[in-house]
Structures are given as C-alpha cells and as structure tokens.
Amino acid sequence: MAPYDWGWDVAIRWFPFVISGIWTTLAITAGSMAGGLVLGVITAIIRVSGKRPFTTVATAYTEFFRNTPMFTQLIWVWYVIPRLTGFSPPPMVAVVSALSLNVGAFLAEDMRAGILSIARGQWEAAYAVGMTTMQAYWKIILPQAILRILPPLVSMWVTLFKETSIVSLVGIGEMFFRARVGAMATYRTVEMYGMVSLIYLLLVLPQARFSDWVYQKVRVK
C-alpha cells in the first residue's frame, strides 16, 4: 500500500472558512446553556415541591432526556414534531431548543441537589421575615444553590461546546459542518477533520482548565 499523500496545505487554506463557524458554535452553546439553566431551575423547584402531578411530569422529563441519545432528541425536534404539528421553527431555534431540553434535564438534577443542600433553617428564617416561597427561592436559596453547583455548571458548558458539533447533521453551519463541507469539496477528509479536531482541542482546553479552577475555588470554600 502506497503511503498517504498528506495535503495539509489544503486544510490551511480552508482554515478561515472553518474557524468562522465558531460564532455559530458559541451562539448555540450560549443559547442552549441559558435555556437549559432556566429549564433546570424550574424543573428542580417543581421536583422539590413534591406536588403531584407536576413532580411526575418533571421526573418523566428529566429521565427521558437524560437517558436517550441527544441525536434522537435533535431528530424529534428537527423532523418529527414539525411533521406532526405542521409548525417548523427556524433552524437555530430548533437546535437550541433540542439542546436546551437535554441540558435542562441534567442541570435539573444538579440544581435539585443544590437546593436540598441548603439548611432548613434558612427557609424558616425567610418565612419568619415574611417572605413567600418564591421570594425565598429568588433571594436566598437559588443564589446559594447555583454557587454550590457552579463546578458542574461550568463543566456542562465545556461538554455542550463540544456537543454542538452534532447539529452539523442537520445542516447548521458551525465549525464541524464547515469542515465537512471542506472535506467533500477537497476529498481531504483526514486533513479537514484533523484540523477541526485540533481547533476544538485548542478551544476546549482553556475552558476545561477554567472548569478545574472553578472547582478548586468552590471546593475550598
């Protein structure tokens, strides 16, 4: 077998096109993280409340999205639901919604653990000064709970940043999709995918180190 004829010069020429997809990657990550955090907080509060049938629905949501592949969830939001309902949301809305649902299910469990870790005495103190349950959540419980789950929250961001590559399968022009376009145009699959893998590595490593730093800071406290 003849040795592979490397063509890294092709990858270098396509680098600006591929890296320009970072803005789409960041937009999807930020939007999905924000949506997931809102869903996670709401779901956690419902589950902690113990009020049926709301807790049953919240539990079913978390179990479904935590135990099924993200790809199937994306397919349902992108293809199946529009066919069933006749409503097709804009592409970015669809993928951010799908990823938010997935992230929200995982953050819900983290947030629930954070809420349950707050001493009961703080609830009693809030009620003693006349706060409602929602005021106690907003002013006392949630700020502390979010601080306590900050390390997994940052780790989820790092994971989500990498997982956004899955949306390339439905034609969203983030970095991995652009690398695939380059691979099909140049027939340099190894070089194009090797380049985008290196880009992800260089972008994710600082984020991972920041996640470790946050963990150490919060753990010390």
pLDDT digits (tens, 9 = 90+) for 140-173: 899 888 888 888 898 899 999 999 999 988 888 8
Of 102-106, 165-169, 195-199, the poorest mean pLDDT is in 165-169
Instruction: Grade residue 220 by pLDDT with cuts at 50, 70 and 90.
Output: very low
45 pLDDT higher than 80: yes
20 pLDDT higher than 90: yes
Instruction: Grade residue 2 by pLDDT with cuts at 50, 70 and 90.
Output: low
Residues 182, 119 contacting (CB under 8 angstroms): no
Q: Taking CA 212 as the corner, what is the angle to CA 211 and CA 215, rounded to the nearest 5 degrees?
A: 90
102: number of Cβ within 10 Å: 24
9: number of Cβ within 10 Å: 10
Determine the pLDDT at residue 1: 65
Domains and CATH numbers, the chain: 14-220 (1.10.3720.10)
Mean pLDDT of the chain: 90
208-212 contacts, C-beta under 8 A, 24 or more apart: 208/158, 210/154, 211/151, 211/154, 211/155, 211/157, 211/158
Q: Which amino acid is at 48?
A: V
DSSP H helical segments within the chain, as ranges? 8-19, 22-49, 54-66, 70-75, 81-85, 91-116, 120-128, 133-136, 142-148, 150-163, 175-186, 189-220
Residues 98, 73 contacting (CB under 8 angstroms): yes
Determine the pLDDT at residue 67: 95
Residue 136's SS3 state is helix
The tokens for 174 are 């983030």
221 pLDDT higher than 60: no
